[in-house]
Amino acid sequence: MRSMTGFGRGRAEGDGFSVQVDVRSLNHRFLEVRVRGLTDMPGLVLLCEDAVKGRFSRGSFDVNVLLDFGGFRRPKAIHREAAVRLWEQLQELAAALGAKEAPSLEALLSLGVVQEESPEEEAIRPVLERALEQALAEVEAFRAREGEKLFEALRRETGILRELISRAKDEVPRAKEAFAERLMKRLGELSVLDEARIALEVGIWAERTDVQEELDRLEAHLHRLEGLLGAEGPMGRELEFLAQEITREANTLAAKSRGVPLGEVALELKLCAERIREQARNVE
């Protein structure tokens, strides 16, 4: 079991530059990846997205890439197209102003046509891959550690759920007996002690309040929940679905219960399901 919360950092050196990658992941219903720091390098953005999608199935990921050229001497080059265009404009301006002297190369160079060259995208790719691998490995380890905590919390809640279902089963016959006693007392007060009538009323009540189907489904959900906790791989979505279904059955159980003890068990079942759902929202 892995959490969806994690952080990792990787760094690698290239020829005259370095790459640092910070990856943060948070909870999300699906898989979402946002890459920053690779403007005008769509191929490298796609590389980062594919790397995340290849290792994770759920979560919101922020991949921040820092390309650092500080401390290195990068080669300089003249942007020829820009220089030609600016030179023509300088000449046109000089003619329009009636300048006695033609524009100089010094004037042209002062306009910023000399630029420092950056490594090409293909030169950055292998360095980025190394830094990204380090960062994603750290994220995986972080999510695994958090997943162990989630596993223990969900295992505790599973034990509570099993105990509550057992209590609900015990309360059903008690509720029936309590209703029969109340009915007999009431009919006694009315001087109506027809045993056939009492049996009929108890039977009608039992049919209307039968919760065996709900208890059977709760046990099935519990069995599946225990199976998931013993499995590997992504399971967060199914855990959330099971919590939702447990809540549904608990609501029906509460609606059908006529006794205070069974109603209290139904309420505790709902609270337990909500705790399971809260934990499942953090599970990949």
pLDDT digits (tens, 9 = 90+) for 96-135: 888 878 888 787 777 666 655 556 778 889 999 999 999 9
Sequence-ordered list of residues with C-beta below 8 angstroms from that of 20, at least 6 positions apart, any chain: 9, 10, 11, 65, 66, 68, 131
The CA distance from 126 to 72, in Å, is 19
37 — phi, psi (to 5°)? 100, 5
Write down the pLDDT at residue 204. Answer: 63
53 within 8 A of 83, measured Cβ to Cβ: no
Candidate from 14-23, 105-114, 129-138, 190-199 with smallest mean pLDDT: 190-199
Higher pLDDT, 84 or 210: 84
The Cα 248–Cα 147 span in angstroms is: 27
Is residue 73 pLDDT above 50, yes or no?
A: no
Average pLDDT over residues 193-198: 64
pLDDT of residue 25: 96
Q: Please give the residue that has the higher pLDDT: either 271 or 171.
A: 271
Percent of the chain at pLDDT > 90 equals 49
Q: Note the pLDDT of residue 6.
A: 96
Under 8 Å between Cβ of 19 and 128: yes
Strand partners, 22: 9, 64
Contact status, residue 241 vs residue 276, Cβ threshold 8 Å: no
List the domain boundaries for the chain.
Answer: 6-72+123-142, 76-116, 145-280
279 or 259, higher pLDDT: 279
Tokens of 12: 């690698």
Lowest-pLDDT range of 149-158, 160-169, 203-212: 203-212
Q: Does domain 6-72+123-142 have CATH number 3.30.230?
A: yes
Per-residue model confidence (pLDDT) at position 115 = 56
Place 231 in a pLDDT band, splitting at 50, 70 and 90. confident
Beta bridge partners of residue 76, listed in sequence order? 116
Rg of the chain on CA atoms, in Å: 35
Please check whether residue 258 is in contact with residue 129, taking contact to mean a CB–CB distance below 8 angstroms. no
Closest among 235, 236, 248 to 274, alpha carbons compared: 248
More confident residue, 189 or 240: 240
Q: How far is CA 122 from CA 43, 51, 63, 283, in A?
A: 9, 17, 19, 36
Proportion of the chain above pLDDT 70, given as a percent: 80
Q: Does the pLDDT value for residue 41 go beyond 50?
A: yes
Asked whether the predicted pLDDT for residue 68 surpasses 90, the reply is no
- Predicted confidence at residue 72, as pLDDT, reads 47
